[in-house]
Homo-oligomer: A and B are copies of this chain.
Amino acid sequence: MDVEEATARVPMRWVGPIKIGGKVVDGEVEVPLATYESPLWPSVGRGAKMSRLSERGILATLVDERMTRSVLLEADDAETAVAAVRQLNDDLPELRRLVSERSRFAELVTMNHQIAGNLLFLRLEFTTGDASGHNMATLAADVLLTYIVASVPGLRYSSVSGNYCTDKKATAVNGILGRGKNVVAELLIPREVVEERLRTTARKVADLNVRKNLIGTTLAGGIRSANAHFANMLLAVYLATGQDAANIVEGSQGITHAEDRDGALYFSTTLPNLIVGTVGNGKGLDFVDANLTRMGCRESREPGANARRLAAIIAATVLCGELSLMAAQTNPGELMRAHLRLERATPEKEAV
């Protein structure tokens, strides 16, 4: 096959700038979005405009960061598993040393566990610098697993990953114990901007959020999630910045919360499981490097600071797209009209 065939080319546009405040990012930032769904660009663009029309812009706050891998061990019985957990917690300094010895950037933060019958799931949690850290965590887990099986009596290898990590699956554990960056983005939009630019009211957006994102998702049997379309924005930024986009599965689990504050709209998006990095697989591609540079995520900073910046920008981007869609859905027919106007004719569209 020739070179042409060896590349999937996803249309990409720069959107923004988004006005962002907070401890991680402070200023206006443009964001690249790679997607086959062209209406996403103006949608996020409209949200970005709202950020610029608000006094403080979007406040992005980093709550936590870590990368995890859960190894799976078979114990003689549950009593043995409990004793093993106790021994390993006592042994934490040695486990930390083993990890540091093998990696310049990975550090073992802590360990959680689950015991089911005779099975022991150890959830190893690391900081991994500017890398999203999948490979660092797996390699470190491999090292620790070898040590554990050799040093703890009554434990045997069952798997280097026991799905209690949890990677690329929508579960509850990541949000509760932490995995990836946990970021909150918040925006307070003045009443007149809500009414004139978003053509809606704060009350309408807050009520729709309750009915659709909270009650609707609950009725659908969602898990730790209440939002309209985080996945769309995440996919587009992930592809544009060389992330492993399969991580949108857990990344898209997050909460949209809106309040009517005397006519002003408080709108927030909480993303507890945002897996991102500025080094590692995919980050070496030319266009990715250029994008990250333009986003200010290639600066000389302490390890982890570039990745945190990227996470904050992504959370702000997600807020922009979420706000725009939610505002549109408060008005009958607006969403469809926007789609029909924005998309080029396609076979499906003609078909409709």
Binding site for B on A (CB under 8 A): 1, 4-14, 22-23, 32, 34, 36-38, 59, 61-63, 70, 72, 74, 77-79, 82, 102-106, 112, 114-119, 121, 129, 131-133, 135-136, 138-139, 142, 145-146, 149, 157-177, 182, 184, 186, 208, 210-229, 231-232, 234-235, 239-240, 242-246, 248-249, 252-253, 255, 257, 266, 268, 270, 277, 279-285, 287-288, 290, 329-330, 332-333, 335-336, 339-340, 343, 346-349, 351-352
Residues of B within 8 A of A246 (CB): 37, 229, 231-232, 234-235, 248, 252
Known: A8-B240, A166-B220, A279-B348. 5 other contacts (CB 8 A): A160-B329, A160-B333, A163-B228, A166-B217, A239-B239
Return 22 A-B CB contacts under 8 Å, by A number. Answer: A4-B287, A8-B240, A22-B79, A23-B79, A36-B285, A61-B77, A61-B78, A78-B186, A102-B352, A116-B270, A119-B211, A129-B351, A138-B336, A160-B332, A161-B329, A168-B229, A172-B222, A173-B176, A176-B176, A215-B257, A221-B223, A281-B343
Closest 6 CB pairs of A and B: A172-B221, A36-B282, A163-B216, A280-B348, A170-B170, A117-B268
CA distance A332 to B9 in the complex (A): 37
Distance to closest chain B CB from A269 (angstroms): 8
- A224's nearest neighbour on chain B, judged by CB, is B221
CA distance A158 to B229 in the complex (A): 18
- Pick the residue among B104, B210, B212, B348 that contacts A131 (CB under 8 A): B348
Distance to closest chain B CB from A138 (angstroms): 6
Which of A186, A219, A226, A266 has the most chain B CB within a 10 Å cutoff? A219
- A182's nearest neighbour on chain B, judged by CB, is B115
- A114's nearest neighbour on chain B, judged by CB, is B219
Is B213 in contact with A163, judged by CB distance below 8 angstroms?
yes
Residues of B within 8 A of A117 (CB): 184, 186, 255, 257, 266, 268, 270
CA distance A231 to B38 in the complex (A): 23
Q: Knowing A279-B348, A332-B160, A347-B279 touch, does A287 contact B169 (C-beta < 8 A)?
A: no
Is A231 in contact with B268, judged by CB distance below 8 angstroms?
no
- A105's nearest neighbour on chain B, judged by CB, is B351
Is B224 in contact with A235, judged by CB distance below 8 angstroms?
no
Residues of B within 8 A of A229 (CB): 167-168, 246
Distance to closest chain B CB from A201 (angstroms): 14
Is A173 in contact with B220, judged by CB distance below 8 angstroms?
yes
CA distance A169 to B196 in the complex (A): 31
Is B255 in contact with A335, judged by CB distance below 8 angstroms?
no
Is B116 in contact with A257, judged by CB distance below 8 angstroms?
yes
